[in-house]
Chain A
Amino acid sequence: MDYIIHLLIFISIYAILAMSLNLLVGYTGLLSVTHAAFYGVGAYTTALLMKFAGFNFFIALAIGVVIALIASFLIGLVISKLSGDYYALGSLGFNIIVFTIFLNWQTLTRGPLGIPGIPRPELFGFTFSGNIAYLALSFAFAVLVYLACRFIIGSSFGRALKAIREDEEALKCFGYHTSVYKLVIFAIAAGFASVAGALYASYITFVDPTTFYLPESVLLLSMIILGGLSNLQGSVIGAAVLILLPEALRFVGFPDTIAAQLRLFVYGLLIVLLMLYRPQGIRGEYKL
């Protein structure tokens, strides 16, 4: 039972990441390969503030969101002027830069050693130490992010995002400063990713740079492509499938080490097959 709860916690955290990335890739058509960086910003901020400064989880999470917003705003100022392939390459560059900071700013992050012993969240004297309590917490955040994403895409702002995805130059002719829209949605998505990072850090109680590198950004992209672009339920389905799939491989009889390698193989194969046979994914409303 504990194992299933553990998987559900991971699905909740990755659902937050996938939904927020879908705002960028699926709804706005911006192929961002830097989402893991903001996931990391949230995780490291929470880890550092809780472990070394004794902050409450929720305050650390909020500060992580603010830092992710500031970082994304600065990064977004540069890449929001780009579109198409250039946007993807620019965002990829920023994921590498942020990873390099996590790895090499050793006085702050302890570099490759990572930060162990991150406390679990506390609220009004209650500690979320048990996994059922943590599942309730992470699920609550996932629901909040889902509702926030629905609010965004149901607004005039959300409609404009889709129009940017369809034809940014044409939309500009109707008086839209599209780079401002791109910057704002980039920051919102980064803020949500940072929430997922905080939940991850406090759940695993350990962070190190490798979790927030390019393969993680690619995994997140795989989730939303599999589940379906421009569809929030699809993001959740994609996250669930790609969290559960490697676990299923364990039961096929492969040793844990091979199952881990196979996971990457399966992700790659899935993306290729989806692009060939179902580019809109399981529930997608938009094709790349």
Chain B
Amino acid sequence: MNIIEAKNLTKHFDGVLAIDRLSFSVANGTITGIIGPNGSGKTTLTNILSGMIPKDNGMIIIDGVALERLKSYDARRYGIARTFQNVRVFEQMSVLDNLLVVVTERNVWGALFERHGEYHRARVLEVLERIGLRDKQTALARTLSYGQRKLLEIGRALLTDARVYLFDEPFAGLFPEMAKLIVTIIHELKADGKTVILIEHNMELIRELCDTVIVMDSGRLLAEGAPKNVLKKREVLEAYLGE
């Protein structure tokens, strides 16, 4: 069963073709890696799948529902959560508030009369424990190290209780211990039956974590399949590694 299907996705930016008739599918409960050289359209694809930018043409099907236009505030409704290549935490808010804002009431009227009760706080503390930031809960997000901010972003995504997690280069610039923590979280998500889409440049991690890998080049699909097979292909090595 596929949770995400993309058919002939196309996206232009000022005449530049960023995504070119891209079709692929992601099976439910798997970890799918998306790799490709810089500028190959990986982040553009993530932005389309999370509704942050509209596609020009093509079709996105999420859990069997074909979507003409996915808006960013609808992504949560379809069970999609994401992190960003360039960390986008709420810098001048506390770590706790960065997480509480994800779990509290969305309806304006309800939110006006809602205080963060014990239920929300308990959920947030549980995630803070999981990402190793419990002792930083009152700190402003901007005072965290780069790696801690990446973990905070992942914590924020975890709190959405999504079905699909889009992680855009979560390991970039991290110390090994933090990377190990994220690996554990990704394994746990899979064990919980969640789907993870992982954009990553580290081939070792792709081999270790992913069930399937999608290789993109110039906005097109270059190869798709199990990492052990795909990463050996000549065209992949040429495009990605310049070999």
Contact A160 B90 (CB under 8 A): no
Indicate which residue in B52, B77, B97, B156 contacts A169 across the interface (CB closer than 8 Å).
B52
Indicate which residue in B84, B92, B160 contacts A166 across the interface (CB closer than 8 Å).
B92
Give Cα A175–Cα B108 distance, bound, in whole angstroms: 12
The 8 A CB mask of A105-148 against B (1 = contact, 0 = none) is 00000000000000000000000000000000000000000000
At the interface with chain A, which of B13-21, B113-121, B223-231?
B113-121
Known: A159-B104, A160-B101. A173 touches B93 (CB 8 A): no
A255 CB, min distance to chain B CBs, angstroms: 44
B50: Cβ under 8 A from any A Cβ: yes
Interface residues of B in 128-171 (CB under 8 A from A): 156, 160
Give Cα A219–Cα B7 distance, bound, in whole angstroms: 55
The 8 A CB mask of A168-194 against B (1 = contact, 0 = none) is 011111111110110010000000000
The 8 A CB mask of B101-125 against A (1 = contact, 0 = none) is 1101110101111111000000000
Contact A173 B50 (CB under 8 A): yes
Contact A157 B75 (CB under 8 A): no
Indicate which residue in A159, A170, A173, A286 contacts B100 across the interface (CB closer than 8 Å).
A159
Q: Chain A residues near B105: list those with CB within 8 A.
A: 156
Q: Chain A residues near B111: list those with CB within 8 A.
A: 155-157, 160
User: Chain A's interface: helix, strand, loop or mixed, by majority?
Assistant: helix
Give Cα A156–Cα B115 distance, bound, in whole angstroms: 6
B105 nearest CB neighbor, chain A only: A156
B55: Cβ under 8 A from any A Cβ: no
Interface residues of A in 243-288 (CB under 8 A from B): 285-287
Give Cα A159–Cα B236 distance, bound, in whole angstroms: 46
B46 CB, min distance to chain A CBs, angstroms: 11
B220: Cβ under 8 A from any A Cβ: no
Indicate which residue in A159, A167, A170, A175 contacts B76 across the interface (CB closer than 8 Å).
A175
Give Cα A120–Cα B101 distance, bound, in whole angstroms: 45
Q: Chain A residues near B115: list those with CB within 8 A.
A: 154-156
User: Chain B's interface: helix, strand, loop or mixed, by majority?
Assistant: loop
Indicate which residue in B71, B76, B90 contacts A163 across the interface (CB closer than 8 Å).
B90
Contact A173 B92 (CB under 8 A): no
Contact B77 A286 (CB under 8 A): no
A35: Cβ under 8 A from any B Cβ: no
Give Cα A176–Cα B165 distance, bound, in whole angstroms: 18
Indicate which residue in A152, A174, A180 contacts B101 across the interface (CB closer than 8 Å).
A174
Indicate which residue in A155, A162, A167, A172 contacts B73 across the interface (CB closer than 8 Å).
A172
Known: A162-B97, A173-B52, A175-B77. A156 touches B72 (CB 8 A): no
Contact B104 A156 (CB under 8 A): yes
Indicate which residue in B73, B84, B93, B116 contacts A156 across the interface (CB closer than 8 Å).
B116
Known: A159-B101, A159-B104. A167 touches B90 (CB 8 A): yes
A183 nearest CB neighbor, chain B only: B108
A199 CB, min distance to chain B CBs, angstroms: 25
Contact B73 A170 (CB under 8 A): no
Indicate which residue in B51, B92, B160 contacts A285 across the interface (CB closer than 8 Å).
B92
A150 CB, min distance to chain B CBs, angstroms: 12
Interface residues of B in 17-65 (CB under 8 A from A): 50-52
Contact B101 A173 (CB under 8 A): no
B88: Cβ under 8 A from any A Cβ: yes
A170 nearest CB neighbor, chain B only: B88
Contact B76 A174 (CB under 8 A): yes
Contact B97 A172 (CB under 8 A): no
Indicate which residue in B51, B72, B112 contacts A157 across the interface (CB closer than 8 Å).
B112
Contact A175 B104 (CB under 8 A): no
Known: A173-B50, A173-B82. A163 touches B93 (CB 8 A): yes
* Residue among A176, A180, A286 with max Cβ neighbours from chain B (10 Å): A176
B71 nearest CB neighbor, chain A only: A172
Give Cα A62–Cα B237 distance, bound, in whole angstroms: 71
Contact B90 A166 (CB under 8 A): yes
Known: A155-B114, A155-B115, A175-B75. A180 touches B52 (CB 8 A): no
B159 CB, min distance to chain A CBs, angstroms: 9
Contact A162 B106 (CB under 8 A): no
Q: Which 7 A-B pairs have the closest CB atoms?
A: A175-B76, A166-B90, A156-B104, A157-B111, A172-B72, A156-B111, A156-B114
